[in-house]
A and B are shown apart, each in its own frame.
Chain A
Amino acid sequence: MITVGGHGLTCPDPQDYAAQALYMQSQALTIDAYLAGIAAQVTTSTMRPTAIFTFSSTIFVGPTFADGYASPDVLTYSNIPGATADATITFDTPGTYIYGAYTSLSASGAITAGSYRKVRISAIKDPDSAALETNNTEEVTFETNTGGERVTNKSGFISANIGDVYRLAQYEADNNASSMLVNAGSMIWITRAASNDLIEVA
C-alpha cells in the first residue's frame, strides 16, 4: 500500500489488487476512526474550562479604606486543574477568559453619609510578584443614608497563557463608622470565552 496525504489513507499498489476487500476494510476503518477522533476533539474543546468559588462564611472588610482581599474558601466547581479554593488559578489552557462575581454586600454598623462600599474583582497576575499586573472590574455603591443590603454582579476579561497565575477578588470600604460584610454565599467565577489561537483544519 502507498500512503497518500497526511491522514493515514492508502492507495493499493498493483500487487495489492487481489486484496481489494481488505483495502476497502482498511480504508473504512481508518476514515471512521479519523472522523470520530475529530468529532470527539471538537466536542471536548467546547467543554469550557470553568471554576466557581464560594464564600462559606461572612467576611469582614473595613472600616476605613480597608483595601484587601476577601477570599472565598470553597471550590464549588472546577474543571481547571490549577484552580484553588481561594480563587487563585494557574492556567493550563491558554485563552481569553471572562470572570465575574455574584457578591452580597452589607454594612455593619452605622453608615457614614457619602462613604462607599466597593466590589472590585481584580484579576491579579502573579500575585506573589513585586510588579503586579491587574485587570479590574469594579462597582461602587455610595451611601446617602442608612444603607442596606447590596448585591451585585460584575464581570471582566483577561487573556491567559499556560502557566499564568491569577488571583481574583478585592473589596474596599470607606465607611468611617462601620465595617463592610461580604456575605456568605457570595461567589466568584471564571470561564474560558475563546481561544487565542487561530484554529486550522489540516
Chain B
Amino acid sequence: MPNSPTYGIPYPCEGAAISPADFAAFAAGVEAAIASANAAITAARKGVYAIQMATVNPAVNTPTTFTFTASAENSSSGITVGATSFTAQTAGVYLSSVYFILGQSLTSTTTATYGQIGMRVGAVNQNLDKRRGYSSLVLPRQQATGMLILGVGSVVDYQYLWGGTGALSAPVLAKITLERLTTL
C-alpha cells in the first residue's frame, strides 16, 4: 500500500480489493501520525535550553572557568552539556544567564575591588558583567545576561574573575542557563 508523504499513513490503491486489514492499518496509521505530530509539537513548544548548577573558586586576579556540578534541566539534545561547557547543535541566537545563588565571604585579610563574569564562545569573551566590590568582606552576588550568536558546534563556557587581594573563603555557586531563541 502507498503511504502519505509526511507521516506514512497507509491507504489502499484505487480499485484494489479492500480488506478489514486495510482499515485497521489505516486507523493505526492515523493514530501513529497524530502521536508523531503531537511529539514534534511538544518538543517544539518546549524549546531548546539547558540549565546547570555550577561552582568556581578562583584565585585573585585569575579568570577561572565554572565547573558544572549538576543538571537542573536540559530540554533536548539541541544543547549538549560537558563538564565545563555547552555545545550548540544548531546555529541560532541564544540567550544566556549566569546568576550567583551564593556569593562568598572573603578571608579576613582580603579586599575585593570588582567581580567579573565572562561568557565565552570558543574561549573568546562575549559578554561581561563587572561590578565593583563592596568595602565589606562579602563578594557581592552578581548576574549577567547576554545574547550569543552561535554556530553548529560552538562551545560556550563561563568564567569568573575578581580583583583585589587575598582569597575567597569558599567557592561561589551559580546557576547558568543557555536557551535557543531562534535558528539562523
Contact = CB atoms under 8 A, between A and B. Distances in A.
Interface of A: 19-22, 24-25, 27-29, 31-33, 35-36, 38-39, 42-43, 46-50, 52, 76-77, 79, 100, 102, 104, 141, 148-153, 155, 187, 189, 191
Given A28-B26, A39-B37, A153-B143, 11 more contacts: A21-B11, A24-B18, A27-B30, A29-B5, A36-B7, A38-B37, A39-B41, A43-B40, A149-B130, A152-B129, A152-B131
Nearest to B42: A42
Interface string B1-41: 01111110111111110100011001001100110110011
Contact of A48 (B36, B131, B182): B182
B174 to A, nearest CB: 15
Contact of B146 (A20, A24, A48, A153): A153
Interface size class of B (residues with CB under 8 A): 35 or more
Interface of B: 2-7, 9-16, 18, 22-23, 26, 29-30, 33-34, 36-37, 40-41, 44-45, 47, 93, 95, 114, 116, 127-132, 143-147, 149, 181-183
Nearest to A36: B6
Contacts of A35: 6-7, 33-34, 36-37
A28 B182 contact: no
Nearest to B117: A153
Contacts of B15: 21
A79 B12 CA distance: 44
A24 B3 CA distance: 11
A33 B13 CA distance: 19
A28 B10 contact: yes
A38 B36 CA distance: 12
Nearest to A149: B130
A39 B44 contact: yes
B104 to A, nearest CB: 21
B128 A151 contact: yes
Contacts of B131: 152
B12 A46 contact: no
A93 to B, nearest CB: 12
A25 B149 contact: no
A19 B18 CA distance: 10
B166 to A, nearest CB: 20
